[in-house]
Amino acid sequence: MTQRIHKKLSLAPIPYFWDQTTVEDFYRRTADSPIDIVYLGETVCSKRRALGLSDWISIGQDLTAAGKEVVLSTLSLVEAASELSVMTKICKQNDFGVEANDMSALQLRTSYTKPEFIAGGSLNIYNQRSLDKLKSLGLQRWVVPHEHNQQALHDFDLSGIEVELPVWGRLSLAYSARCFTARTHNRSKDQCGFVCDQYPDGLAMKTQEAKDFLVINGIQTQSGTIQNHLEAINDNAVDILRITPQQNNCFEVIDIFDRVRKQQMGVDEGQQKLAECTIHPISNGYWHRQAGKNWVA
């Protein structure tokens, strides 16, 4: 197995609907953070037009000037010609890398003269044959789906690609053609009124016993727990540690991962500090071949 020694930190696309000022302020702070790789773009719902492609490119240029590697991410569910048009523009450009979150994006990207791409977690790669097929098409980096356990990852032949593991944030469980957030307000998807902007970290759902269950984020369903894989910082199969943005304490989370990777803080101390960065339950069950909502100390 290829030894992965020097870990990088990446910042996933913002999954929620934040206003333009909040987004721009967030990435200004990111420019001064220890993050190495930044993923930009709308991956959940194309109706969220607080920023257009030109705005994302402008932010990307600023982050590049700050020394960050910038990647443009595509939608995870494509339904309309207008969405395909934006995706085509993303896949044709060569100023930034491209994270393909839908097979149509992969097809578009590989049809151009520079076919290299990053496979997003929503492509659902679960076996060696699928991974080898993507390698033959120009795969540079693989964002590992949440459901993979540590042993399964080690069983893959990962030579020739970078491996990126989501290590902090809610798990993206499913996408739907329907908007659940709009439905909770008795609105249709087409007349949603952008109500998801009322929930900057998603709309939490609880069981009848008042326990955290799921989080609704437009057409996306997320876990009610926060996935935490700080222990993977010492895993030789992983190159890049991927952190999902959240409205509160995001840069505190980034700082903790950075200090642990630089051995300025131990993993145990880092875990204690990460627990203080969220009021929600933390989980890592999938990584240990258990139910995803479980926490294995």
Q: What is the pLDDT of residues 75-132, one digit of tens each?
A: 999 989 999 999 999 999 999 999 999 999 999 998 876 778 999 999 999 999 999 9
Asked whether the predicted pLDDT for residue 5 surpasses 80, the reply is no
At residue 4, the pLDDT reads 45
Phi-psi region of 29 (alpha: psi -120 to 50; beta: other; left: phi over 0): alpha
Mean pLDDT on 273-288: 96
End-to-end CA distance of the chain: 26
Radius of gyration of the chain measured on its C-alpha atoms: 18
Separation CA 70–CA 66 (nearest Å): 10
Mean pLDDT of the chain: 94
Separation CA 166–CA 280 (nearest Å): 17
**Backbone CA torsion sign across 2, 237, 117, 63:** negative
Second CATH level (architecture) for the domain 8-172+227-268: Alpha-Beta Barrel (3.20)
At residue 137, the pLDDT reads 94
More confident residue, 3 or 49: 49
Q: State the pTM of this model.
A: 0.95
Share of the chain above pLDDT 70, in %: 98
> Would you state the structure tokens that stand for residue 56, as one six-digit string?
């994302």
3-state secondary structure of 40: strand
Confidence category of residue 2, pLDDT binned at 50, 70, 90: very low
pLDDT digits (tens, 9 = 90+) for 149-190: 999 999 999 999 999 999 999 999 999 999 999 999 999 998
Query: Domain map of the chain by residue range?
Result: 8-172+227-268
Contact call for residues 240 and 261 (beta carbons, < 8 A): no
Q: Which of 216, 212, 230 is nearest to 281 (CA)?
A: 212
Separation CA 52–CA 72 (nearest Å): 12
Contact call for residues 193 and 179 (beta carbons, < 8 A): no
Separation CA 167–CA 144 (nearest Å): 10
At residue 3, the pLDDT reads 44
> Would you state the structure tokens that stand for residue 50, as one six-digit string?
């607080």
pLDDT digits (tens, 9 = 90+) for 128-148: 999 999 999 999 999 999 999
Confidence category of residue 247, pLDDT binned at 50, 70, 90: very high
At residue 113, the pLDDT reads 63
Mean pLDDT on 205-234: 94
Contact call for residues 148 and 126 (beta carbons, < 8 A): yes
Asked whether the predicted pLDDT for residue 1 surpasses 70, the reply is no
Q: Any residues with CB less than 8 A from the CB of 284 and at least 6 apart, and which?
A: 227, 228, 229, 231, 294, 295, 296
